[in-house]
Amino acid sequence: DFKGFGRPLDSTMPAKEVMFPRDRQPDTQEVKELYKRTHGSTDPGEGLDRKYDWPEHVKGNPIFRFGHANQTVAPGSGAKSALSMDCGVEPLSVPATLIVKDTLANFQEITSDHIGTSRNLMQLQSHQNLGRHHSFGKPTSTDPVSAGSLIHGNYSHAEQMPDADLGKCLLKGRRNFETEPRGVPSVRFDKVAPPLEKRSVANDTNYGDDLHAGSLITPTRFQFLGISAEDFVQKRPVGEVASLLRGAGFCAEDEKLEAIVQRAGSED
């Protein structure tokens, strides 16, 4: 009997034996070195050796440290540099003059506050010697349209009519359908209604054959038995009518029952 490929599972082996198996030789040093290089797997407390080939002045100096050494500052050099920050390269000299564009100097002259003078408001020279009664702005004018005409509105009849594009899409490439119905109808006459006895109680679809409120307010005597008024006027074969009458307790001969059915059919 072929049981499939592979080795069968041992369901009796606990998880501890799988994680920490017994009777296995420990990993060799070569395997440990391989895992250190590929996965960085080291023993607890063991440092990671990156196999760097340091220069001799680094390996031979036991107090060697990486980084920039601290600069030794002589006492009083900080105050000296603060007092002589505007000097030139030589002590007690004047810094050399640099000729640059005057854009920055002009900007500082206009935007900065100066001692003893008002701030420059960037007005033209022609505006500084104006008359005493000079006024800025546009002179007042008379508007022929008053506030009353704006409130009451003197619109023509054509202006008071609705816009021609009211309710229509103004985007190019689209049509405005006015007669085609949209959405899903409430009464689904477009679907085939399943039989009442096969409908789910969770089916809330209205197929147009739901009972009216009168049958709920004044139910018939047979409605609680699952028999509606339409069942009494439905045409049935003679054999089915005979079985219904016998089930109701009406026993008659076949000749008499046939005569009753023929008479009922002739009157219909």
pLDDT in tens, 239-262: 888 888 788 787 777 778 778 777
Q: Which residue has the tokens 């500052």?
A: 73
- CA dist list (Å): 105 to 62, 81, 242: 57, 26, 120
Ranges of beta strands (E only) in 48-172 are: none
The alpha carbons of the chain give a radius of gyration, in whole angstroms, of 54
Q: What is the pLDDT of residue 31?
A: 92
Q: What is the pLDDT of residue 135?
A: 80
Q: Which residues of the chain have pLDDT under 70?
A: 124-128, 173-178, 267-268
Q: What is the pLDDT of residue 174?
A: 66
223, 215 contact by CB (below 8 A): yes
Looking at the whole model, is its pTM more than 0.85? Answer: no
β-partners of residue 187 are 206
The single-letter DSSP state of residue 206 is B
> How many Å apart are CA 202 and CA 193, to the nearest integer?
15
Apex 97 CA angle, 88 and 118, nearest 5: 110
pLDDT per residue as tens digits for the range 81-136: 888 888 887 877 888 888 888 898 888 888 888 888 877 777 766 666 777 787 87
